[in-house]
Amino acid sequence: MHGRLAAPPAAAGCLEADAIAANEARGLIALADDTQGEEIAVLRDFLRSNVEAADALLAERFWSGRDVLDLVHARAWVVEQLLLLAWRRLVPFLEGVALVAVGGFGRGELHPASDVDLMVLLDDDIGDELPRREIEAFVQLLWDAGFYLGHSVRTVNQCRDESLKDIVTTTTLMESRLLVGARDLYEQMLEVTAPPGVWPAAEFFEAKYAEQKARHERYHETAYNLEPNIKEGPGGLRDIQTISWVARRHFDADHLHGLVTHEFLTDSEYHDLVGGKRFLWRVRFALHLLAGRAEDRLLFDYQRQIAERFGFEDSETSLAVEQFMQLYYRTVMRLERLNDALLQLFQEAFLNREQDEVRDLNERFRVRNGYLEPRHRDVFTERPAALMELFELLARNESLKGVTAATIRTIRNHLYLVDQNFRDDPEVNRHFLELLRQPEGIYTQLRRMNRYGVLAAYIPAFGNIVGRMQYDLFHVYTVDQHTLFVVRNLRRFAYGKYRERFPHSRKVFKRIARPELLYLAAIFHDIAKGRGGDHSELGAVDTEAFCSRLDIEPAERDMVVWLVRQHLLMSQTSQRKDLSDPVNIQAFAKAVGIPVLAAIPANDDIRELGSAVRRIGFISIDRSRSAEARRTLEAAVEVAGRTASEIEGERAELLEMRGTLDGRLQRGAVARLGRHEGADPGAEHRLPRGWPSGRHGRSELVRLPLSRRRQEPAQGPRCRAHGGAHHLFVGRIDAIEIRSQAAG
């Protein structure tokens, strides 16, 4: 497409051709004339009223269900007609000047608030003939009329020079169209910016691939943020454009269907790609209309509105917005998968196949140029367990870069083999368990399994949480991505390169004999989200059923089930319970037991990991207090069998002791506080009831450093039942905190 747009059916009624013709018939506006201001104002109002009327009509058609592909092209056509009118009224025809549409406008695609990208192309020898004043008036007019304009003015040689320096410029010019002006000039520009002189296909691909990787890193390499960017995020519109740009540079293909012609895409993959693009265009069109501006972030407020506008309704187990977002996430997952496969196919196409390095890995797999692939086309049908073996091999062999693009397609085409017989196959389950036992690559391969659809097929309950969002304060990703990030965070405990970041947790993790059990618990801890009921209990049932197929001891299976069932206990205890209350500590200790308490990490580590890890077995306690907290919990475990009434009685006794501490603590508390290691001399202190308060009769807070509290002699009566354990309850889980109102 190198010329003007044809009017699509959706553009019918958007503009009045007679009115445009009549306006154009008024001729060129003489900028030196005294009446120029009035004429330009009339033209400005004409342009603004027409584009606003057309936008309103297209918006009405969009909400009524018109195909968004037609509407996006229709808006580009409308804008083009109005720009041509403005140009003809202001800029005289010259052989050395051309108006060129570039970028998205060059593709003939405009959403309601998209930028209108233009380039004024000049002959290198235009010299004094440059109509500077007219061009400036043209640009100013468009801004005043309400167009979102992106423009540049370049000579042919400047286009070449900028393209050599910046691949973004090259990409923009690749999608250009001549609107009006000298065609010879435009063709010169195309020639000097084309390969092989400027960005040959292989170099162009490598640069675009690197550009995409950097862009994905900005979004944490996941499309599953709860407020995703539908354009720039992984699996978004920019990924589709990247495929299109590479195809154009390599095959000179104007449309994605050219990839089918060149056997880079199958028909079904092409329809998936176009269908995904259509869905994302619908979402983007709606976003622009609702926001009233160019908005590509699918924010919470817009998610709810779009879900309602698109006809989603609340059900017993999920909200309308959750259903809409799950469709969104599953769509971008498919697009991300296609993007991966196609870019890898391009990469392989640029290699010299005569120099391929191929070596056999075992009877079923071989390595080609660092990528794993089946040795023959029937490997998976002859031995379905090889589908799982592939991921184990990837984790076991650190030198492997991944799988070949053809293998990605083969995996997808053989997902039908993952049935109940596959899930019950001991060989399959052995490969999966061995994957979780590898020292490296566990998270990477689980993520790959999820992306290729294998994980959801192997664990059907996991398929229910793919793309499911969670509206709460603890999660910023979908359930499946959150789950995989939990595994990733656990893996970081084991890595030496994270030693400085997680020093205490790494030491604890090294003492875990069977970390694969922890990974299993991480995979299943939220697997029942969105079903209704207690997801911990429902998840425990799924966990037991799955683990019963694995070759692990019954006690190990019970541990995994227990972790899933109790994964909320620690976060609820640390965040919602009073840690100075011995009843809460006793209940927690009874439920957990000393073996699990040995894995309490420092707060510095927990802060980095976030709530995801905390929810499956860790509790946030300051480094200075972790040893004291552990001793507190150990003491609580020792008395875990005692009745609640006994605990309540002792609690009352301990509280009474607070009011009878002798005067030595009163007189020396603040002074001692400043001498304790790690204490804050400027901290606020409140004194117990009966002690002299501040000048204004307000109570104060005495906050003793826990790491030193135990070393002081007992200041009051010892608890008979605990032999001094009241110091643990009163002084170690939190600092002594006694509030009172001063007497008198």
Beta bridge partners of 98: 121, 181
Paired with 116 in beta bridges are 149
Say how far apart CA 277 and CA 257 lie, in whole Å: 13
pLDDT of 621 above 50: no
pLDDT tens digits, 672-711: 444 344 444 334 334 333 333 333 333 333 333 333 333 3
Q: How confident is the model at residue 129 (pLDDT cuts 50, 70, 90)?
A: confident
| Residues 182, 184, 186, 187, Cα dihedral to 10° | 160
CA distance 58 to 67: 11
pLDDT for the residue numbered 31: 86
- Name 422's Cβ contacts closer than 8 Å, sequence gap at least 6: 384, 385, 387, 428, 458
Contacts of 455 (CB under 8 A, 6+ apart): 446, 449, 462
Q: Is the pLDDT of residue 315 over 50?
A: yes
User: Model's pTM, two decimal places?
Assistant: 0.75
Crossing angle between the packed helical segments 644-658 and 582-592, to the nearest 10 degrees: 140
How far is residue 172's CA from residue 117's CA, in Å, rounded to a whole number? 9
* Ordered structural domains, the chain, with CATH: 9-199 (3.30.460.10), 202-350 (1.20.120.330), 459-641 (no CATH), 657-744 (no CATH)
Please report which confidence band the pLDDT of residue 579 belongs to, taking 50, 70 and 90 as the band edges.
confident
pLDDT band at 2 (very low <50, low <70, confident <90, very high): low
pLDDT the model gives residue 704: 31
- The residue-averaged pLDDT of 448-474 equals 88
Residues in the chain: 744
Give the C-alpha separation, 612 to 484, whole Å: 10
Average pLDDT, the chain: 81
**CA quadruple 665, 667, 668, 673: dihedral sign:** positive
Count CA atoms closer than 13 A to 386's CA, side-chain side: 23
Token reading at 569: 């206990």
H or E stretch at 204: helix 201-218
**What do you get for the CA distance between the two ends of the chain, in Å?**
90
Which residue, 509, 515, 489, 442, is CA-closest to 610?
489
Cα(578)–Cα(729) distance, integer angstroms: 11
State residue 394's pLDDT score.
97
Separation CA 306–CA 281 (nearest Å): 13
User: Residue 122: enclosing H or E segment and its boundaries?
Assistant: strand 116-122
Per-residue pLDDT tens for 266-299? 999 999 999 999 999 999 999 999 999 999 999 9
Longest dimension (CA), the chain: 105
List of E strands, 340-400: 358-360, 365-368, 371-374
Q: Average pLDDT of 154-162?
A: 96
pLDDT for 180-233, tens place per residue? 999 999 999 999 999 989 999 999 999 999 999 999 988 877 777 888 999 999
Q: Which of 547, 596, 583, 542 is nearest to 565 (CA)?
A: 542
Task: Return d(Cα 1, Cα 76) in angstroms, integer.
Answer: 14
Phi-psi region of 53 (alpha: psi -120 to 50; beta: other; left: phi over 0): alpha
Q: Distance between CA atoms of 517 and 560, rounded to whole angstroms?
A: 6
Question: Which DSSP string corresponds to 153-193?
Answer: EEEHHHHHHHHHH-HHHHHHHHT-EEEEE-HHHHHHHHHHT
- The pLDDT of residue 590: 78
Query: Which one, of 226, 223, 312, 240, lies nearest residue 276 by Cα?
Result: 240
Q: Strand pairing of 116-122 and 149-155?
A: parallel
Looking at 466-598, list the stretches that DSSP marks H as alpha helix, in order from N- to C-terminal side. 479-494, 503-510, 515-524, 535-547, 554-565, 569-576, 582-592, 594-597
CA-to-CA separations, 161 to 83, 120, 198, 205, in angstroms, rounded: 28, 16, 9, 19
Which of 72-76, 383-387, 501-505, 603-607 shows the lowest mean pLDDT across its residues?
Answer: 603-607
Q: How confident is the model at residue 316 (pLDDT cuts 50, 70, 90)?
A: confident
Higher pLDDT, 380 or 629: 380
The answer to whether the beta carbons of residues 375 and 368 sit under 8 Å apart is no
> In a 10 Å sphere around its CB, with 0-12 CB exposed, 13-18 middle and 19+ buried, how is residue 321 labelled?
buried
Residue 627 confidence class, pLDDT cut points 50, 70, 90: low
The pLDDT confidence band at residue 399, using thresholds 50, 70 and 90, is very high
Asked if pLDDT for residue 644 goes beyond 80, the answer is no
Position with higher pLDDT, 502 vs 540 = 540
CB 261 within 8 A of CB 255: no
509-537 mean pLDDT: 92
Decide: helix, strand or coil at residue 149: strand
